[in-house]
């Protein structure tokens, strides 16, 4: 099996696992009802390591899974995660990722981007989402939460050989 396909399948599995955790166990560590988005951090990590193709396809598949188990309309999370996976994949191999600062910066930007994109999609498609109606406190709690967890999750994911940095041409 092609290596990229194997990585994509593994990533989709990891993302699905994170989404399940977010809907169950992570409620116990929610701050003012806001849970960290582990799936987003994993998606950033994989996209930055393996490029746009793996990022967008796994983001799309995980997004569909998330849409199926939530009240969100089908296509909402798949569109969000596809775009984020693609955008971060563009920078694969071109950005030096140190163990601490860059994971935080990348994750903080991605969370704000997710909030912004979610707001735009909700406005255009007239979707009543109750979470961050952008620029509200909930968004900033998630930004901080994801930012704090990102270095630890990046370090953990770095232990998996399957996510080894892609060659420049592969990205």
Partner 1 sequence: MPGLFEGFVARHRKGVTLAALIIVSLAFLLVSNRAVVIKPKEVGLSFVGFFQKGFTGFFKWFGDTAGSIRQLNAAREELDAARAKVQEMDRVTRDIVELRRQNAMLRKQLDFSQTLPPDRIACEVIARDSDNLFSTITINKGSRQGVRPGMPVVAYQGDMEGLVGKVFSVGPGASEVLPLYDPQCLVSARLDSTRDEGLVKGEGKDHGTVLLQYVKKTAKDAIQYGDLVVTSGLGGVYPKGINLGRVRDIRALAYETSLEIEVEPIINFDRLEYVFLIDAESALGASGTPGAAGTRGAQGASAQ
Virtual torsion, Cα 88, 115, 131, 126, nearest 10 deg: -110
Measured between alpha carbons, how far is residue 70 from residues 49, 53, 77 in Å?
29, 26, 10
| CA atoms of 163 and 103, how far apart (whole Å) | 15
Q: At its nearest, how many Å lie between partner 1 and the CB of residue 80?
A: 9
CB of 99 to partner 1, least distance (A): 27
Q: Alpha helices of the chain — where are they, by DSSP H?
A: 3-23, 38-50, 52-69, 76-90, 101-125, 137-157
Rounded least distance, CB 85 to partner 1, Å: 9
Nearer to partner 1, 5 or 27 (CB): 27
Which residues lie near partner 1 (CB under 8 A)? 19-20, 22-24, 27, 30, 32-35, 37, 39, 51-53, 56-57, 60, 63-64, 66-67, 69-79, 82-83, 86, 89, 118-136, 138, 142
Choose between 130 and 159: whose C-beta lies nearer to partner 1: 130
């Amino acid at each position: 099996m092609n290596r990229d396909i194997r990585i994509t399948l593994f990533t989709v599995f990891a993302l699905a696992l994170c989404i399940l955790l977010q809907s169950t166990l992570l409620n116990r560590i929610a701050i003012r009802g806001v849970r960290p988005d582990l799936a987003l951090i994993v998606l950033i990590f994989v996209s930055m390591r393996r490029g746009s193709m793996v990022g967008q396809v796994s983001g799309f598949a995980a997004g569909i899974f998330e849409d199926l188990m939530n009240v969100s309309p089908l296509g909402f999370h798949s569109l969000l995660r596809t775009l984020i996976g693609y955008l971060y994949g563009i920078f694969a191999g071109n950005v030096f990722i140190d163990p601490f600062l860059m994971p935080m910066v990348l994750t903080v930007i991605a969370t704000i981007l997710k909030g912004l994109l979610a707001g735009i999609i909700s406005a255009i498609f007239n979707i009543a989402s109750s979470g961050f109606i952008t620029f509200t406190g909930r968004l900033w709690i998630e930004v901080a939460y994801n930012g704090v967890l990102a270095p630890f999750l990046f370090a953990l994911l770095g232990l998996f050989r399957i996510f080894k940095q892609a060659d420049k041409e592969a990205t």
